[in-house]
Amino acid sequence: MAVVFERPKSFADIPLHYCPGCTHGIIHRLVCEVIDEMGIEGDTIGVCPVGCSVMAYDYFTCDMIEAAHGRAPAVATGVKRTNPDKYVFTYQGDGDLAAIGTAETVHAATRGENIVVIFVNNTTYGMTGGQMAPTTLPGQVTQTTPYGRDPKLMGYPVRVCEMLATLTGTALAQRVAVNSVPHIREAKKAIRKAFENQRDKKGFSIVEVLSTCPTNWGMSPVDALKRLEDEMIPYYPLGVFKDANAFPEKEGE
């Protein structure tokens, strides 16, 4: 019987700790499929964040490093600069990347650090129980915005891809989602492109993946997917915000 669907080789065959309906599993899988298809597992080093995906080092079968909260792009920089021929990616959530790690994120992009950043945006701090994230939408109720996020008090959500697209060092800034099959297919293409950019030494590539958190949103998985479509995508439009070679003069060297 022909195998039509199987677990990616670089995706460890152990139970995930994520909540039912969480889309981290899909995003992990997409990254692993790309690693398998490019045949780079042995040459890849991943860097985990602090957040729900803190234990992703157990799930990816490439070599893995656990970073402090927000510092993954700096750790990845240290890895990549000393191992320029290896593939290096970070996997980070919204609090990690866009709040405590903003400086590390922005400066890795500024330097055109030749790494891949997988940015999972679910508009909340999941692991600590659902507090306001830098990407929490106006009006969204969280533990620390019990009356809804009021921009006058808590400011506005950060649109990370739009911000990073302004930087010369950024090669790819693309926002995708994993709430439907077509969106998931598009997400995988973006992740593949990001890793190919790294192979081609084009600079900093970030793929922002709109994701769900049924547990902390207090929704069923199906309703959570619907919220992503109805509320998140209008605020965080999908698409490519930048696609370029950050170091064009290096071509042909």
Phi-psi region of 133 (alpha: psi -120 to 50; beta: other; left: phi over 0): beta
In this structure, are strands 116-121 and 63-66 parallel, antiparallel, or unpaired?
Answer: unpaired
Phi-psi region of 94 (alpha: psi -120 to 50; beta: other; left: phi over 0): alpha
- Closest contact distance (angstroms) between CB of 47 and other proteins is 7
Q: Residue type at 94?
A: D
| Torsion angle (degrees, nearest 10) of CA 93, 62, 65, 74 | -70
Residue 167 interacts with other proteins (CB under 8 A)?
A: no
Residue 63 interacts with other proteins (CB under 8 A)?
A: yes
- Closest contact distance (angstroms) between CB of 245 and other proteins is 21
Residue 237 interacts with other proteins (CB under 8 A)?
A: no
Residue 68 interacts with other proteins (CB under 8 A)?
A: yes
Q: Which listed residue (62, 167, 177, 190) binds other proteins by CB under 8 A?
A: 62
Distance separating alpha carbons of residues 206 and 233, to the nearest angstrom = 18
- Closest contact distance (angstroms) between CB of 5 and other proteins is 23
* 20-59 footprint of other proteins as x/- string (CB under 8 A): ---------------------xxxxx-x------xx-xx-
Residue 82 interacts with other proteins (CB under 8 A)?
A: yes
- Closest contact distance (angstroms) between CB of 33 and other proteins is 17
- Closest contact distance (angstroms) between CB of 107 and other proteins is 4
| Token reading at 99 | 């709040």
Task: Report H helices in 51-99.
Answer: 72-82, 94-95
Distance separating alpha carbons of residues 115 and 212, to the nearest angstrom = 25
| Token reading at 50 | 């602090």
Which residues 91-130 are close enough to bind other proteins by CB under 8 A? 103-104, 106-107
Q: Which residue, 88 or 209, has its beta carbon nearer to other proteins?
A: 88
Residue 81 interacts with other proteins (CB under 8 A)?
A: yes
| Token reading at 229 | 């479509």
Q: Which residues bind other proteins (CB under 8 A)?
A: 41-45, 47, 54-55, 57-58, 60-68, 71, 74-83, 86, 103-104, 106-107
